[in-house]
Structure 1
Amino acid sequence: MARRPSPAGAEAAHPSEESWFAALGVSQDTQIDDEAAGGRGRSRPSGWRAAESQDSRFLTRQARRLLGATTQPSFQRIYRAFLGARVAVGLLLLGAQAASHLIGAGSPGPSWVLAASAAYALATLVAWWLGRHAAEGRQGRPVHRLRRGQWLSTVGLDVAAFGLLHLFGSTGNINYLPLLVLPVLMAGVLTSRGAALSVAAAITLLLLGDAWWRAADGNFSMLYMQAGLVGSGFFVIALLAGELASRLAREELAARGSMELARQQAQLNRLVIEEMQDGVLVVDRRGRVRVANPAARRLLAEEGLVPAPPFQLHGDPAWQPLAAVVMQSFKSGSSPETGLEVHLPFPSGHSRGLRVRLRFTKRRQPQASEELCVLFLEDLRDVQARTRQEKLAAMGRISAGIAHEIRNPLSAIAQANALLAEDLTTPAQRQLSQMVADNVERLKRIVDDVMEVAPGGPPVQAQPVDVTALVASTCSEWARTARLPLDERSALRVDLPLAPVGAAFDPDHLRRVLINLLDNGYRHASKRPGSVEVRLVAEPEVLTLSVCSDGPPIPLDVERYLFEPFFSTRSRGTGLGLYICKELCERYGATIDYRLRSAQYTARNEFYLVMRVVPLGPQDVPSASLNLTR
């Protein structure tokens, strides 16, 4: 069975009806849907999210007008304008004829002219009413040319109606010839050049025929000259209208492309801002927050997120320090390049420190003052941690180089001291030699510790280890080394799960971390039974190993430097123990920290290590158990 041609194919079969606005195309990517223009977020075919309602506040009046203009295709807007003009002409024509017949002034003309005017006015009203959907095809897609029915109901009807009025309705007082300009102009704008010239040619032939008809009364040359001049004017109007329409189409195509590029750039900027780790706020002179990315909303809230903008920066008492900085910067017109430190006091008593950098946007006039303030917010703890990590990395590289250079002199000193000790006879001399040997060993331990955590070492290959068995064996060995009674009177208490639990950690490194924590805890403990506790708590995803002691609570000014290198409260301490523990834990994706437990516990000082749980194979489960008896 033969297939019927599609409407698109039928329309494509009449290229003569295409208008100049076909160059604009009908791509959906260059049009703003009504919901996006209204401010409601909506997913677009390209994957971007439509502009939020807050974006409209940054658009100037001219930009809003341009956005509103591009919401509809140009053909639709101009076609509606012509339909409105036809309605106005029809109503004016009907009103003039009705007034002429009612008043009776002059020669009102035949009665059929009044009826024709009424019919034309009614036809224009119907066409205007139906023209609301004129720019949509049968599939609801925008079109950019007049279909045959539209052409006949507009241009064709105007040529026929105004031609009849000119031929048979003109009197000495009324001339309908100027009305023929409207269909010529409409054809020049909304159809192709050939179709517009065809309309002008048809009207010219109509005028020449009327001149030939009237030439029977004489004055042949004047009538033909007048018809020729008017026809030439119609050709000029058709050509000029087509050229102006072509230029309008080109300019609108360029403007639409610029709008699409600007829209894509705005969407890219919005995406970048939303994904930034730093908080971004846009505030006006009244303290009204217009834009806030998720990071900024998280920093302004004690927990969770603050509501989406717009909101007042003066609306929360905790934000007053930040609002004061913004208002002061608006007054001075500048801010420090390095930023300012602002602390937000929350009602719960906690405070959050922020590093704030401010930038201003200016109006187009150079002499105008700043209008908007852009704030870049960083958590002061992150800034300090980043600075501390940079310093530690630099210090680690320097220390590793120094430690490497110290090894050879230390070996020479140790060997020379050993040779010298063989010839010493007096106790005082031997005591001095032993002092040299002890300090050499201490320096060697420092060198080994520094080289252990020095950057640039070989990559770490984590292997599953049974943490339960390792903690049990390490605690047993440490208790024997510390000469602790291995019974109920022991200062060490160990609480382990019955089943093996695995973690990705090197056994030697984990043993070193645990021994370091046991040494620190026992050193500051009261030495009473149970003064040092070791607990291993297994959860589905993580494993927590904690070492607690009943020593005095660590002061706050000491707590903040616990895991920094070369910090120690002992005169003979290296200050590298906890720092090495932290570096070793970070190698295997674990974390170590300190906290003070509540007063209901005897051992309140707790250092805890959090590791990820990994499954154990049969070869990873050793036959080791906790043994605290001799």
Structure 2
Amino acid sequence: MSTSATGTERRGSRRRPTADESWFGAFESAEDTQIGEDTAHTSGPVPLDTGPAPATASLDSRLFSRQAERIVSAGQSAFDRIFRTFIGARAALGVALALALAATGLFGSRPSLPAALVSVAYGALALTMWLLPKRGTVEPKALAEFWNPLWLATIGVDLVCFSALHVLTPGSSLNYVALLVLPVLMAGVLTPRLKALATAAAVTLILFGSAWLSVLAGGQMTQLLTQAGLASAGFFVITVLAGELAGRLAREELTARGNMEMARQQAALNRLVIEEMQDGVLVVDRRGRVRAANPAARRLLAPEGMCRPAPFQLRGVDAWRELVSTVERAFVESSWPEAGRDVTLEFEPGLARTLRVRVRFTRQRAAQANEEFCVLFLEDVRNMQARSRQEKLAAMGRVSAGIAHEIRNPLAAIAQANALLAEDSTDPAQRRLMRMIADNVERLKRIVDDVMEVAPGLPQEEVLIDATAQVAAVCSEWARAAGVGLGERSVLRVELPGEPLGVAFDAEHLRRVLVNLLDNARRHASDAPGAILLRLESRDAETAFLGVASDGAPIPPEVERYLFEPFFSTRSRGTGLGLYICRELCERYGASIDYRARPTGDPHGNEFFVVMRRLPLADNEARLHLTS
């Protein structure tokens, strides 16, 4: 009999058993899914996460019937469980036989010596097999053949011993025929159908043979043969019914394992989707207990880092008091506005976070029904506002690019006409006005070029450069153009790594970003030596850090929030596109640019920094771009 099942069969196919295989032949020993219990929790402040939480594979047992849950949650297959029960029943029956012989002796009925020897021998064998240590899981193929040692030691021994007791004690007060039900029943459950019917047929022959011997000894033929025939018919019925019941159990186990595998896959998929969501997701019950929380939600609930993994209690934490009230209100109302409501978490004085909370219930029910769980979707209001602002800026950028494209041609015509007028004009006042026209035309051209530079276009190819060489070259070029000397007493101090540093960036675009940052730093820095500090370093194997710090006055908070927005400038003649263009250029290559105020007491209080992606130089020599 083939006992190995394909992966598809193990996951839920209901393959009909053939005549030469057991009802349990579709199963092999496999790791069963454990349905875990939810861990205990205590109320009170929730600590920050100090490490990875232990992985749990628990699934909601409500997905399955109780029988399926019991089958799947057990540590062995149904075949192995039934076989172990069979071994225990044999041991109990062996003890019962010995006690029965002792009881009959006490009441004056002396058993025959052969029957006593067979009973004691059977009891010893059954107890020995029961007491032997388990050696792995018993497979259906172990009982598929008559000559298998395991079949001979169990069903075979039962047939021989019980038949011997029946034949050796024809006139005994004990009915040993009933004992033959055990091997017949186990054969119907644990062996292939044909083998089970053969076992019932063997018992039938034994009964008829014993009846015929009794007839030869002077018994009534009709009575004895009728009893043997009825008992044999009962054994065949037991065989067929046991096989059908075993088949039903096998199919339920197969379905339960398939459902569990599907549930495990669906749970893994849901977990992956929820954990990658940018919005926080909490599953909360009526008692305020968080049953599930994705990383985004755990970050939003903590002032820094993450709070502990679920499950944990919302109640008892002062910062979450308003959120608890929101959950209680949602359960009372059984509904929630589609757009959600704002909730403020006060972690400490001066440190608060406003969240947009949207509540959804786990299932559609009547308005008067009680909900057991609700799902909270959390989003930082600041992120929502930033996203809205970015969408507006993107739309404005597309409009500006279109307008800039349309301005180019009239601007070129104005510049050409002004140049023609300047050739024929000799009046100093007119020439002064023409110079004003030319200067403003050039300024408009620069604005148009800046707008077109960041207009949406084709995706940028990944370009590898040596950031160390490129930054050194740009600093030298900028110092010459700005009239800044280099050396120990220079306004500009440069700190570069002592080895090449490969990053993903275009050389010309990096030059433009760096020049813009240096110009801004020079504009607000003092003339003291080292007033401008430029640092390039490798933070880790994935990122490189480029910072430009200056000793200028700190940037006010009301200005800081608009630093990277287009057309915002603190200078009367500034276009307000410099830092905006820098950010757009950085994003093209997977880099980021930001501003931070350095700690109090640091001479360089303001710092703009760029975080770039590192790439190995050794594997990309053919694509290396060096600018001296």
Class of the TM-score when normalised by the shorter of the 2 chains: 0.7 to 0.9
For residues 388 and 606 of structure 2, the distance between their equivalents in structure 1, rounded to whole angstroms, comes to: 28
Q: 1:306 corresponds to which letter in structure 2?
A: C
Which runs of 5 or more residues in structure 2 are unaligned? Answer: 5-17, 40-52
Distance of aligned partners of 1:175 and 1:23 in 2 relative to their CA distance in 1, 3 Å threshold? closer
Residue 53 of structure 2 is aligned to residue 52 of structure 1 = no
For residues 549 and 171 of structure 2, the distance between their equivalents in structure 1, rounded to whole angstroms, comes to: 114
Query: Which residue is 1:72 aligned to?
Result: 76
Query: Which residue is 2:398 aligned to?
Result: 397
For residues 136 and 533 of structure 2, the distance between their equivalents in structure 1, rounded to whole angstroms, comes to: 79
Q: 1:478 corresponds to which letter in structure 2?
A: A
For residues 529 and 387 of structure 1, the distance between their equivalents in structure 2, rounded to whole angstroms, comes to: 41
Q: 2:238 corresponds to which letter in structure 1?
A: I
For residues 214 and 367 of structure 1, the distance between their equivalents in structure 2, rounded to whole angstroms, comes to: 77
Q: CA deviation at 1:71?
A: 2.5
Q: 2:395 corresponds to which letter in structure 1?
A: A
The answer on whether the counterparts of 1:468 and 1:501 sit within 8 Å (CA) in structure 2 is no
Q: 1:328 corresponds to which letter in structure 2?
A: R
Any idea what SS the aligned residue of 1:81 has? helix
For residues 214 and 367 of structure 2, the distance between their equivalents in structure 1, rounded to whole angstroms, comes to: 69
Residue 234 of structure 2 is aligned to residue 233 of structure 1 = yes
Residue 26 of structure 2 is aligned to residue 24 of structure 1 = yes
Q: How big is each residue's C-alpha offset from its partner over 1:562-612, in whole Å with a ceiling of 9 and x where there is no partner?
A: 110122345554321221232234445554333334554676444445667
The answer on whether the counterparts of 2:32 and 2:73 sit within 8 Å (CA) in structure 1 is no
Q: How big is each residue's C-alpha offset from its partner over 1:263-301, in whole Å with a ceiling of 9 and x where there is no partner?
A: 333334344444555544333222223333444444444
For residues 251 and 314 of structure 1, the distance between their equivalents in structure 2, rounded to whole angstroms, comes to: 42
For residues 248 and 593 of structure 1, the distance between their equivalents in structure 2, rounded to whole angstroms, comes to: 64
Q: 1:550 corresponds to which letter in structure 2?
A: G
Distance of aligned partners of 1:334 and 1:63 in 2 relative to their CA distance in 1, 3 Å threshold? farther
Query: Which residue is 1:576 aligned to?
Result: 577
Superposed counterparts of 1:553-592, under 5 Å: 553-570=554-571, 572-587=573-588, 590-592=591-593
Query: Which residue is 1:326 aligned to?
Result: 327
The answer on whether the counterparts of 2:29 and 2:137 sit within 8 Å (CA) in structure 1 is no
For residues 221 and 125 of structure 1, the distance between their equivalents in structure 2, rounded to whole angstroms, comes to: 39
For residues 389 and 67 of structure 2, the distance between their equivalents in structure 1, rounded to whole angstroms, comes to: 48
Superposed counterparts of 1:256-405, under 5 Å: 256-347=257-348, 349-362=350-363, 369-405=370-406
Stretch deviating more after TM superposition (187-196 or 62-71): 62-71
Q: CA deviation at 1:236?
A: 3.1
Residue 473 of structure 2 is aligned to residue 475 of structure 1 = no
Residue 190 of structure 2 is aligned to residue 190 of structure 1 = yes
Distance of aligned partners of 1:218 and 1:317 in 2 relative to their CA distance in 1, 3 Å threshold? closer
Q: How big is each residue's C-alpha offset from its partner over 1:192-251, in whole Å with a ceiling of 9 and x where there is no partner?
A: 333333332332223223332333436434433333333233233323333433343334
Residue 533 of structure 2 is aligned to residue 535 of structure 1 = yes
Query: Which residue is 2:9 aligned to?
Result: none
The answer on whether the counterparts of 2:189 and 2:246 sit within 8 Å (CA) in structure 1 is yes
Normalising to structure 1: TM-score of the pair?
Answer: 0.75
Normalising to structure 2: TM-score of the pair?
Answer: 0.75
Query: Which residue is 1:207 aligned to?
Result: 207
Query: Which residue is 1:130 aligned to?
Result: 132
Any idea what SS the aligned residue of 1:150 has? helix
Structure (1 or 2) with the larger CA radius of gyration: 1
For residues 457 and 307 of structure 1, the distance between their equivalents in structure 2, rounded to whole angstroms, comes to: 44
Distance of aligned partners of 1:59 and 1:198 in 2 relative to their CA distance in 1, 3 Å threshold? closer
The answer on whether the counterparts of 2:33 and 2:260 sit within 8 Å (CA) in structure 1 is no
For residues 508 and 69 of structure 1, the distance between their equivalents in structure 2, rounded to whole angstroms, comes to: 63
Q: 1:473 corresponds to which letter in structure 2?
A: E
Any idea what SS the aligned residue of 1:446 has? helix
For residues 223 and 67 of structure 2, the distance between their equivalents in structure 1, rounded to whole angstroms, comes to: 54
Distance of aligned partners of 1:298 and 1:167 in 2 relative to their CA distance in 1, 3 Å threshold? same
The answer on whether the counterparts of 2:166 and 2:176 sit within 8 Å (CA) in structure 1 is yes
Q: 1:195 corresponds to which letter in structure 2?
A: K
Residue 178 of structure 2 is aligned to residue 178 of structure 1 = yes
For residues 270 and 573 of structure 2, the distance between their equivalents in structure 1, rounded to whole angstroms, comes to: 56
Distance of aligned partners of 1:116 and 1:574 in 2 relative to their CA distance in 1, 3 Å threshold? same
Q: CA deviation at 1:557?
A: 1.9
The answer on whether the counterparts of 1:466 and 1:500 sit within 8 Å (CA) in structure 2 is no
Q: 1:263 corresponds to which letter in structure 2?
A: R
Superposed counterparts of 1:460-471, under 5 Å: 463-464=465-466, 465-471=469-475
For residues 350 and 323 of structure 1, the distance between their equivalents in structure 2, rounded to whole angstroms, comes to: 19
Q: How big is each residue's C-alpha offset from its partner over 1:292-342, in whole Å with a ceiling of 9 and x where there is no partner?
A: 344444444444443333322235433434433333333333344444544
Q: 1:476 corresponds to which letter in structure 2?
A: R
Distance of aligned partners of 1:585 and 1:536 in 2 relative to their CA distance in 1, 3 Å threshold? same
Q: 1:534 corresponds to which letter in structure 2?
A: I
Any idea what SS the aligned residue of 1:495 has? strand
Q: CA deviation at 1:374?
A: 3.3
Q: CA deviation at 1:549?
A: 5.3
Any idea what SS the aligned residue of 1:370 has? coil
The answer on whether the counterparts of 1:336 and 1:357 sit within 8 Å (CA) in structure 2 is yes
For residues 38 and 209 of structure 1, the distance between their equivalents in structure 2, rounded to whole angstroms, comes to: 57
For residues 359 and 559 of structure 1, the distance between their equivalents in structure 2, rounded to whole angstroms, comes to: 37
Query: Which residue is 1:253 aligned to?
Result: 254
Query: Which residue is 1:550 aligned to?
Result: 552
Query: Which residue is 2:446 aligned to?
Result: 445
Return the match for 1:493 from 487, 491, 494: 491
Any idea what SS the aligned residue of 2:292 has? strand
Q: CA deviation at 1:116?
A: 4.9
The answer on whether the counterparts of 2:418 and 2:434 sit within 8 Å (CA) in structure 1 is yes
The answer on whether the counterparts of 1:135 and 1:142 sit within 8 Å (CA) in structure 2 is no
For residues 292 and 434 of structure 1, the distance between their equivalents in structure 2, rounded to whole angstroms, comes to: 66
Stretch deviating more after TM superposition (269-278 or 450-459): 269-278
Any idea what SS the aligned residue of 1:189 has? helix
Query: Which residue is 1:62 aligned to?
Result: 66
For residues 249 and 90 of structure 1, the distance between their equivalents in structure 2, rounded to whole angstroms, comes to: 29
Q: How big is each residue's C-alpha offset from its partner over 1:107-133, in whole Å with a ceiling of 9 and x where there is no partner?
A: 676576566545544443333333854
Any idea what SS the aligned residue of 1:496 has? strand
Query: Which residue is 1:625 aligned to?
Result: none
Distance of aligned partners of 1:443 and 1:152 in 2 relative to their CA distance in 1, 3 Å threshold? same
Identity %: 52
Superposed counterparts of 1:146-157, under 5 Å: 148-157=148-157
Distance of aligned partners of 1:604 and 1:111 in 2 relative to their CA distance in 1, 3 Å threshold? closer
For residues 21 and 84 of structure 1, the distance between their equivalents in structure 2, rounded to whole angstroms, comes to: 22
Query: Which residue is 1:166 aligned to?
Result: 166
For residues 574 and 277 of structure 2, the distance between their equivalents in structure 1, rounded to whole angstroms, comes to: 42
CA RMSD of aligned residues (A): 4.7
Q: CA deviation at 1:447?
A: 1.3
Any idea what SS the aligned residue of 1:334 has? coil
Q: CA deviation at 1:466?
A: 3.8
Distance of aligned partners of 1:495 and 1:84 in 2 relative to their CA distance in 1, 3 Å threshold? closer
For residues 223 and 533 of structure 2, the distance between their equivalents in structure 1, rounded to whole angstroms, comes to: 118
Distance of aligned partners of 1:386 and 1:172 in 2 relative to their CA distance in 1, 3 Å threshold? same
For residues 564 and 286 of structure 2, the distance between their equivalents in structure 1, rounded to whole angstroms, comes to: 44
For residues 65 and 33 of structure 1, the distance between their equivalents in structure 2, rounded to whole angstroms, comes to: 10
Superposed counterparts of 1:507-518, under 5 Å: 509=509, 512-513=512-513, 516-517=516-517
The answer on whether the counterparts of 1:283 and 1:291 sit within 8 Å (CA) in structure 2 is yes
Q: CA deviation at 1:410?
A: 2.6
Return the match for 1:102 from 84, 103, 106: 106
Q: 2:534 corresponds to which letter in structure 1?
A: L
The answer on whether the counterparts of 1:19 and 1:144 sit within 8 Å (CA) in structure 2 is no
Distance of aligned partners of 1:169 and 1:50 in 2 relative to their CA distance in 1, 3 Å threshold? farther
For residues 430 and 607 of structure 2, the distance between their equivalents in structure 1, rounded to whole angstroms, comes to: 44
For residues 592 and 416 of structure 1, the distance between their equivalents in structure 2, rounded to whole angstroms, comes to: 41
The number of aligned residues is: 582
Q: CA deviation at 1:348?
A: 8.2
Any idea what SS the aligned residue of 1:574 has? coil
Distance of aligned partners of 1:21 and 1:92 in 2 relative to their CA distance in 1, 3 Å threshold? same
The answer on whether the counterparts of 2:24 and 2:190 sit within 8 Å (CA) in structure 1 is no
Distance of aligned partners of 1:324 and 1:593 in 2 relative to their CA distance in 1, 3 Å threshold? same
